[in-house]
Amino acid sequence: MDGLTTIKVGFIGIGNMGWPMAMNIFNAGYNLTVFDLDSVRSESFAVETGANSAASLADLADMDFVITMLPNGHVVREVLLETEDGAFIKNVKAECVVIDMSSAEPTGTVALGEELVKHSVILIDAPVSGGVARAELGSLAIMIGANDHDILERAKPLLRCMGEQLFETGSVGSGHATKALNNLIAATSFVATSEALLTAKRFGLDLNTFIDVVNVSTGHTFMSDKVMKDHVIDEKFSTGFALGLLVKDVGIANELCDAVGMNAPLSKLVHKRWQEALDVKGFSADNTEAIQVWDGKD
Ligand code: NAD
């Protein structure tokens, strides 16, 4: 633990996911400095934990690692390269390793990596799966894209504070591609399970019994097991994953299908269904609230 206090880690984006992930890094003993556009969040985090709070991106200049956990790849690029004063990129020390754990567009990630390396900054993409619950437990699945094996090995102890399963998916951008395609599957599964559930309701089936059957039968998925009872049937709608972020992921996956010439009509339809829900509910609604739109209630 003592050795870790000399390793400086900056964490940008203390949101639903970033907060518990940064908490696990701090608890492991790293010298942590957090930054969020919403300074109330970063200051509250610092007060609660004892970590440092950065007043500006320039305060992250001498970090060994900088982790980004931001809404999308455009925001990551803006924060690192395109702020008006260049606060991060003009001041960052050479050999800093940036780990982008956001869910982002793989082609944008490849381009970002190429630009950062001109400033002697190394980019790794390491998006996550498991949601807020597993972020809190430090048991996320992490998909890692890296061009340099030695630097990846250097980053692994830090990643292990946040995740139990670390997958090396290939070069920079491959983590983000893997993540988008995983979320395409999850989003498709939620639409399918919702349509079945709404049909079950209209037929007069008991919904708890219906999901119990699905969960020990061939329709069983993460959505039926972890989401339908806890968030949909009970109408809690509190997964902590914003509808707008999920629609972003399905959009990224569809762009990827197009980019490689994959004919994926179901994926297009799934994107359309989620977009309909987004148009009604708005970006910040919980993603599970989409079922209310498909039910025709909203
Ligand atoms: P969130 O909206 O709760 O958090 C994002 C944070 O980034 C906010 O605190 C916001 O103030 C901050 N931010 C925005 N713009 C900024 C800027 N320019 N500079 C500094 N800070 C800025 O989102 P989240 O749910 O924590 O998701 C973060 C990322 O993780 C997204 O890419 C999302 O797709 C992905 N993700 C989310 C989940 C989930 O279950 N919530 C699961 C896996 C992956």
pLDDT in tens, 173-211: 999 999 999 999 999 999 999 999 999 999 999 999 999
Q: What is the pLDDT of residue 297?
A: 75
Give yes or no: residues 15 and 155 share one domain: yes
Can you give the residue range of the structural domain that contains 201?
178-294
pLDDT digits (tens, 9 = 90+) for 210-229: 999 999 999 999 999 999 99
Give yes or no: residues 262 and 117 share one domain: no
**93/116 Cα distance (integer angstroms):** 12
- Indicate the pLDDT class of residue 3, thresholds 50, 70 and 90: confident
Q: What is the mean pLDDT of the chain?
A: 96
Q: Give the C-alpha distances (Å, rounded to integers) separating 115 from 18, 58, 80, 155, 277.
A: 25, 19, 10, 20, 36
What radius of gyration do the chain's Cα atoms show? Answer: 20
**In the listed set 171, 200, 223, which residue is the last one of a domain according to the structure?**
171
Q: What is the pLDDT of residue 65?
A: 98
- Find the 49 Cα to ligand 1 centroid distance in Å: 20
Give yes or no: residues 213 and 280 share one domain: yes
Give yes or no: residues 243 and 281 share one domain: yes
Give yes or no: residues 17 and 34 share one domain: yes
E-strand stretches of 72-210: 97-100, 122-125, 128-129, 140-145, 163-170
Burial class (CB in 10 A: 0-12, 13-18, 19+), 234: exposed
- Per the structure, the count of domains in the chain is 2
Predicted TM-score of the model (pTM): 0.95
Q: Hey, whose CA ends up nearest to atom 42 of ligand 1?
A: 131
Supply 155's token pair.
């980053």
Q: Other C-beta atoms within 10 Å of 93: how many?
A: 13
Of 11, 12, 17, 43, the residue with max ligand 1 atoms within 8 A of its CB, to mutate for a pocket test, comes to: 17
Strands 163-170 and 140-145: parallel
pLDDT digits (tens, 9 = 90+) for 24-63: 999 999 999 999 999 999 999 999 999 999 999 999 989 9
Give yes or no: residues 184 and 220 share one domain: yes
Give yes or no: residues 194 and 70 share one domain: no
Supply 42's token pair.
């970063």
